[in-house]
Amino acid sequence: MPLMVLIVYSFNEGKSSRWTGFSIHWYEELFLNSRTLWNAFENSVLVALASSCVATLIGTLGAIGITWYSFVHKKYLRMASYLPIIIPEIVIGISLLIFFAGLHWQLSLWTIFIAHTTFNIPFVLFIIISRLDEFDYSIIEAAYDLGATEFHALTRVILPMSIPGIISGFLIAMTLSMDDFVITFFVAGPGSSTLPLHIYSMIRIGVSPVINAISVVLIAGTFIFALSSKNIQKYMFKK
């Protein structure tokens, strides 16, 4: 079933509407005339990178802490980290909106950044926790026995071993961030648009084949990205 629909709509995503002929016109339009769109795209990438980095950082540290240490607020943290996944995006979105408004913070790219990081953290956390669970803690104990300090143990042992997990966490965060619509919709300010938001407003305004062109570009891009990440993983394992 999905196959059929995929074929139908990929054929539709096209070069022209209503058979006025095959033309690349809309692609030209896309690449040359849509400054606002490219701005939005830049924003998306910027926010995605920033929020993924921070989320991965915070999440990794948190994951290490949760897996192997006990601390006062462990139960609280466990519960609190499940929340963003359970709570519907809309609720997260408006709660952040109200929060920012209450603090009189201007809605802007920063607020988007904060929102994205916030919902990225749980995902990164879970991915890395599941990765760390498979670890042999005795290696780390061995490091301590051999006299390593905490910092040493962290940087020389734990981090190198968990790099694949960290990378997957980071990639997932990037994907979630670039794709997110609902939450971003609520916390974006005027003048700070991301790609999904921009696409949304284009769809609302009306059907323009430029959207078709974007869709094709995005689909192709996703495809290429997926294939290349497979190859990169193979490459890394060969090392």
Partner 1 sequence: MRKRVGYIYTLPITLWITFFFVIPILIVFVFSFMKKKLNGGIVWNFSFADLSSLASGHITAFFSKVASHLTFDAYQSLLHPAFLKVVGVTLYIALAATFFTLLLAIPASYYIARSPRKNLLLLLVIVPFWTNLLIRIFAWITILGNNGFVNNILTSLGVITDPIQFLYSKSAVILVTVYTSLPYAILPLYSTIEKFDFTLLEASRDLGASNAQTMWKVFLPNIRVGVITAILFTFIPAIGSYAIPQLIGGTDSYMIGNVIARELTLNRNWPLASSMSLILTVITTIGIYLFVTLNSARIVRQESDVTAAGRSTNG
In order of 3, 87, 144, 227, 230, the CA distances from 164 in angstroms are 32, 28, 23, 17, 13
Give the interface segment with partner 1, choosing from 21-29, 35-43, 163-171, 202-210 (CB under 8 A): 202-210
Q: Kindly write out the interface string for residues 123-162 of this chain, putting x where it contacts partner 1 by CB under 8 A and - elsewhere.
A: --x------------------------x------------
Judged by CB, which is closer to partner 1: 37, or 96? 96
Q: According to CB under 8 A, which residues from 49 to 108 bind partner 1? A: 57-59, 61-62, 64-66, 68-73, 76-77, 80-81, 83-84, 86-92, 94-99, 101-102
CB of 239 to partner 1, least distance (A): 25
Nearer to partner 1, 32 or 205 (CB): 205
Q: Does 203 bind partner 1 (CB under 8 A)?
A: yes
In the complex with partner 1, the residue whose CB is nearer, 69 or 239, is 69
Over the window 1 to 40, marking each residue x when it contacts partner 1 by CB under 8 A and - when it does not, the resulting string is: xxx-xx-xx--xx---xx----------------------
Mapping DSSP to helix (H, G, I), strand (E, B) and coil, where does residue 221 land?
Answer: helix
CA 45 and chain centroid, separation? 10
Number of amino acids touching partner 1 (CB under 8 A):
73
* Complex with partner 1: residue 205 or 239, whichever CB lies closer: 205
Q: How far is the CB of 33 from partner 1 (least distance, A)?
A: 19
Tokens encoding 185: 């919709």
Minimum CB separation of residue 16 from partner 1 in Å reads 12
How far apart CA 124 and CA 112 sit, in angstroms, is 18
Helices of type H across the chain = 2-12, 25-28, 35-68, 74-86, 89-102, 109-133, 137-145, 150-152, 159-179, 182-187, 195-205, 209-238
- Distance linking the first and last C-alpha atoms of the chain: 40
Closer CB to partner 1, residue 218 or residue 239? 218
Residue 30 or 125 with smaller CB distance to partner 1: 125
Output phi, psi for 20, to 5 deg.
-80, 5
Q: Is residue 209 within 8 Å of residue 16, measured between CB atoms?
A: yes
Q: Is 116 in contact with 108 (CB distance < 8 Å)? A: no
- 207 secondary structure, DSSP code: -
Specify the stretch interacting with partner 1 by CB under 8 A; choose among 126-134, 166-174, 204-212, 231-239. 204-212
Of positions 147, 160, 226, 235, contacts partner 1 by CB under 8 A: 226
If DSSP codes are grouped into helix, strand and coil, which group holds residue 68? helix
